[in-house]
Chain A
Amino acid sequence: MALPSSIKQAAAYDSKIEGNVIFTQMDAATNWMRKNSLWPMPMGLACCAIELMAAASSRFDISRFGAEVMRFSPRQADVMIVAGTVTYKMALAVQRIYEQMAEPKWVIAMGACASSGGMYRSYAVLQGIDRLLPVDVYISGCPPRPEALLEGLMRLQEKISSGDTGPDRPRALVPPSDAQLTADPAKKTMMA
């Protein structure tokens, strides 16, 4: 069963040995487990939350992906699905919830408002949750169909299985503006 070390093997199955033993790498195994049971923290803020609920319903069935367990406790969740308009009033609360989630954690920005502020280019709406949290997957749409949310979930699954899951992995986070960089460090800023 020995293979040359230059060949990287994700999984091997040798029915002669025991019939039910799989050889794999630790990373591949844990990534497989993580991606197939992504428990969402549904940050359903507006209309996209309805489509999120629809994706959890029987017709579109997010349960096929192991993600039907919508844990509203951030301690028990893996992925935060920000579904809806993030107003400035709500923004710091979303950040607080995100900080309470345990690693490994991911963020899906669902819909136009969470990705970029959507149609609300105004004084009251945060122009995209990526100004506060590092986002892994953006889903466009207003609102995106449940199938689009499932496609985004599948892209996240590919991202999990292919890459590393550490907190330093490359993610989308809009760099702080000049105002924040030159702000008084004694005053707490949101990029702290």
Chain B
Amino acid sequence: MAVPSPLSPAKRRSAKEAADLLRSEIGSDVTRPVKFRDEITVSVKPASIEAALKHCKSKLDFNSLVDLCSVDHAGESLRFEVIYHLYSFKHACHLRIKTRIPEDEPSVPTASRIWPTADWHEREVYDMMGIQFAGHPDLRRILMWEGYPYFPLRKEFPLAGKESDAPDIAFTDAAPLEGGPFVTTPTSGGTADREPRSRGE
């Protein structure tokens, strides 16, 4: 299937217009678009996320799901956030859609029926955060193995990892950090200030 070349700039619909159209279609479950450095972000309540994504694909011409990722806001009531990055080849514009879900039942309808690429992205989100995707054709871990007991990208999981053993399949050990992750800090100082140093776990 050939990717259509974008419309001329005069005919294109901007991301803000697309967000407003989405809002008028779905209603109050969609927040006002937020603009940050020419990027438009829209938050959707999880009850309407599936309808919103379907509308984006079919009516608003967002034919490409660029990324599907998740954030762990540990300590807040709605702990997890699933973020969809959409792109429209026709209008050459990006749109970001976010949705927050609670910790005790982290579940979101799958986007893989809409964009097939979401299949593996959702498997990765499940593997790393433990968020379930309802209706996913094959929701299993993708980097770690079945039976791995933890979700590594949650905030309480240490960077070095924890010990585990699935006999004959795999094992893990805590990696020796030797003083912690060596990270640099963003600062306007010179290279000596920015040099990666041990910041501790």
- Which residues from chain A sit less than 8 Å from chain B, CB to CB? 87-89, 91-92, 117, 121-127, 131, 177, 179, 183, 187-190
Contact = CB atoms under 8 A, between A and B. Distances in A.
Interface in B161-184: 161-163, 165, 167-173, 175-178, 181
B2 interface: no
- A contacts with B: majority SS: loop
- B contacts with A: majority SS: loop
Interface residues of B, number: 25
27 contacts: A87-B143, A89-B143, A89-B144, A92-B168, A92-B170, A121-B159, A121-B160, A121-B175, A121-B176, A121-B177, A121-B181, A122-B159, A122-B160, A122-B175, A123-B158, A123-B159, A123-B162, A124-B144, A124-B161, A124-B172, A125-B175, A126-B173, A127-B173, A127-B175, A187-B165, A187-B167, A188-B168
Given A92-B169, A127-B176, 7 more contacts: A88-B172, A122-B159, A123-B162, A124-B144, A124-B161, A131-B173, A187-B167
B145 A117 contact: no
Interface of B: 143-145, 150, 152, 157-163, 165, 167-173, 175-178, 181
A80 B175 CA distance: 24
B163 A179 contact: yes
A124 B159 contact: no
